[in-house]
Each structure stands twice: as structure tokens, then as C-alpha cells.
Amino acid sequence: MNDAYARLQARFTRIATLGEASAVLGWDSATMMPAGGGAARGDQLAVLAGLSHEMLTAPAMADDLDAAQPPADPWHEANLGLMRHAHRRATAVPADLVEAQSRANAACEQVWRGARANADFAAVRPQLTEVVKLVREQAAALSPALNLSPYDALMDGYQRGIGAQDVAPIFADYAKFLHEALPRAEEMQARRGDAIPPEGPFPPAATEALCRRLSRAAGLEDAHSRLDRSTHPFCGGTPTDVRITTRYYEHDFAPSVMGVLHETGHALYERGLPQSFARQPVGEAAGMAAHESQSLIVEMQACRSDAYLGWLGGQLLQTYGGAADRYAPENLGRLTRHIARGFIRVDADEMTYPAHVILRFQLEQALIAGDLAVADLPGAWNDGLQALLGITPPDDAKGVLQDIHWYDGAIGYFPSYTLGAMAAAQLMAAARKAAPGLDAALAQGDLSVLVGWLRTNVHAKGSLLGFNDLLLAATGKPLDPTDFLAHIQARYLTA
């Protein structure tokens, strides 16, 4: 290792540390910060983003990237490649645009909170128009530097190596499958009968305590994590200080419980990243599709399985009391795996969830291409959901206002959700083959067999491998949607 590479490692450690500070400030703005702090918080995040950008684009950084000679080791070679990629992205975007985006995103997010509560898209339209304008400028700047289309350049920021041309046929095939399979699944579900709803109410304090126990039982340590409340559930913080959030409902425990298990999957991934490369690009998660695979393998694949539900029922009965038969595995299965054509993405079942992602994928491509104006988003949203699921939202809170992503400038992210779901099914199939005792462990509420396999095959790999190469190493093949289809058919289309 020469001096140039050593200097690069030191610089990227500092950049990562600034990113960690931004992550904790972002968590605070969503959970603890009073409304009056929004403007100052926007300035704080903008300054940190600007400092990171300055460090990435400094002339000395370019000189060291040219001169760097890492150890002859795949990890360090990959690390240098990721450093060069980060530098290429950063130098393509002017510093004033980086800070302008940070401020616009923070301002728009704050207005969005009130707009969503009041189902008032017009209230946030000016701020979202500015955010989209700046994202389009960012995409236009990145496109030639990365030799990608503008939208693919945005996708690259969330999951490298996957572009719209890869995603579009997968999504088109699933939309066709859903059009035919969803009515059959609904018919079979109707024949089986609805779940008997457990007796409420479900006090938020009791649900929160249960969620803490479930997250801890899944392997997330109290010493390195927090569970808090926010408008939109998320996982943030840092690998040694992971922050997960959810929201609670007096009338229903399931969204909170399953939401926390989902975010726990994200948190376990962060906790399992290679410590020897902490704060280095190669030590980070392999992208957001990879990240979503880890949340969904915990929530959807493991914790909605018959085996885990048998154990979870006892925990629910202990927490809420009431009739024991309401928490029997068969009834819980009907409750937590219920097919419904709903308006809200985060509450959607795993069969219809991809339709929500396909809608957003289509709309954000049109936004970036300039084919769709922000003012026309609500109508386009409603028309798109009607075409995919046959339903129209009653208001914009249940439509275009429901997600934080666009209002925070995150355009190009949504495809990662469904790619992650497909990867989760593929990884689970491989884990079951490698660890035949996995389901027996889940029946005891024990995720250690699954998490142990993931630690070795996914978490500990960091960003050493790209998304498809990571799946190839873990499962013997790159992304293969047939595993997800097989999972959907087995769970929802088998008598």
C-alpha cells in the first residue's frame, strides 16, 4: 500500500463520518426535532453535504486516485474502484447544486408533513417542483460522467449496476402475472374465509414494548440500536448506532409489529457489515436493493412464515390477552398474509406490493424525462393505480402524498424495493437448502440460523460484490424472479 492509497482511506473515513452525522441529524428531524427547527436543520445538513462534496472533489483527491496502489487484495482493489466511482459522481455535480438540493429537500420534507396530514398536494407542490427541477439538473450532470441515461444515473446512486432497461422487463412480466393471478388469489382467499380479528384495543405502549422484545429476539442488540416513532418507518443512524422507527395504531398491532421486524432486517445488515472496513466504501452495504432484500427476508420470508407465526401468536397473546384462537397460526396467517388491493404501499401485501413500485417507477421516469409535470402527478398517480390494481385513491394522502421519498429528493430509489423482494425469495430458498433446521428454529422464534447464514453470505461481504454477483455467490445465480414467483404461488395460489 502506498501513501496515496493511505491518504484516500483517511479522507474517506472523514467523509463517512460526516455522513454518519447527517444520518443522525436526519433521524432526529423525523423523530425528535420540534417543527421550528426545520430551517436550521436544513442549513446544517446542507453544510455537511457541502463539506463532503468539497472533500470528494478536492484536487488532491484526484491526484491520489491516480497514484494509489492498494494492497494486492480483492477488498482493497474493490475499495479503490468504489472510491473512484464516488469521485466520478461527485465531480460531475457542482457544489452549489449539492447544497441547493440539500436545502430544498429539507424544506420540502417539512412542508410535506403538513400536506400529507391535510391531504393537500397543492400545499407542497411548489417545493416539490423545486426538488424535481434540481434532481433533473443532477441527473443531467451525472449522465455523461457515468455514461448512463439521466434516470439510470439516479438509479446508480441507490443500486449500482442496475438500470431501467434491466428493471422494465421484470416489472412488465410481473404486471402481467398479477393481472391474471390476483383475481385467482382473491377467489381462493374468499373460499378460505377471512381471519377472525383479535380483540383490541392495542395500546401503543404495549405494542412498542412487544416490538422491542421481537427486535431483540431477532438479534438486534440494545447497546447498538434505538426504536422510536416517526411519521414514516425507516432505519437510519450508523452501523454501531442503528436507529429504527415505526408508527402505532390503537386498532391494529400488525403494521407496527411487521414494520419493526422489517426495519430490524435493515438494522441487522448494518450491524453485520465488515468492521475491518468500517467507514470505507467497500465496507458499506451493497446497495439499496441488497438492503431491501435483508429487511424483506426477515419480515416477509421468515416472520410471516407458518413456523414463526406459531411462536409469535404466543407473544401476542401474552401482550394483549383475549381469545387464544385469534392468535393461532392459521388465523394469524390469514391476518398477516391477507391479499388486498390497497392504496398504501407500506401496508400492502407482498403480492400486490410490486404494483405500487411499478407505478412509482413509471412516474418518476416520466418526471425526469420531462414528460410529466409535478402539477399533473396526482392525476397520473390515480390513473396508474387504477390501471395496475383497479382502485383509485379517495384523496392525495392515500395517493401521491403517502411516501416521503420524492419530497426528500430520493428519485430512482423505488425499484430497489421490488428487486429486494425478489432477491429475498432467492436468498431464502438458498438458506433453506444450506440450513435444513431453519424453519424449526423459526418455530421457536429463533432467527439466528437465518441471520447466521446471511452474516456469512451477505452482510460480511459489504460492497465487495455488485448486486448480481452477490446473489451469484450466495445462491449460484444472479437475480432470478422465478424464485419470487414460486414463493407467491406457494403462499397465495396453492389450495
Distance CA 417, CA 422 (A): 9
Based on the residue annotation, tell me whether 263 is a catalytic residue of this protein: yes
Distance CA 455, CA 42 (A): 36
- What ranges in 94-147 are assigned the alpha helix state H? 95-118, 121-146
Sign, CA torsion 115/120/121/125: negative
Q: Decide: 423 and 290 in contact? Cβ < 8 Å.
A: yes
Catalytic, out of 109, 263, 270, 364 = 263
User: What is the secondary structure of 137-186 as a DSSP string?
Assistant: HHHHHHHHHHTS-HHHHHHHTTSTT--HHHHHHHHHHHHHHHHHHHHHHH
DSSP code, position 437: T
Q: Which of 309, 375, 312, 389 lies closest to 345 in space, CA to CA?
A: 389
Distance CA 416, CA 152 (A): 13
Residues 6+ apart with CB under 8 A from 373: none
Kindly give the pairing relationship between strand 235-238 and strand 225-229.
unpaired
Residues labelled as active-site residues: 263
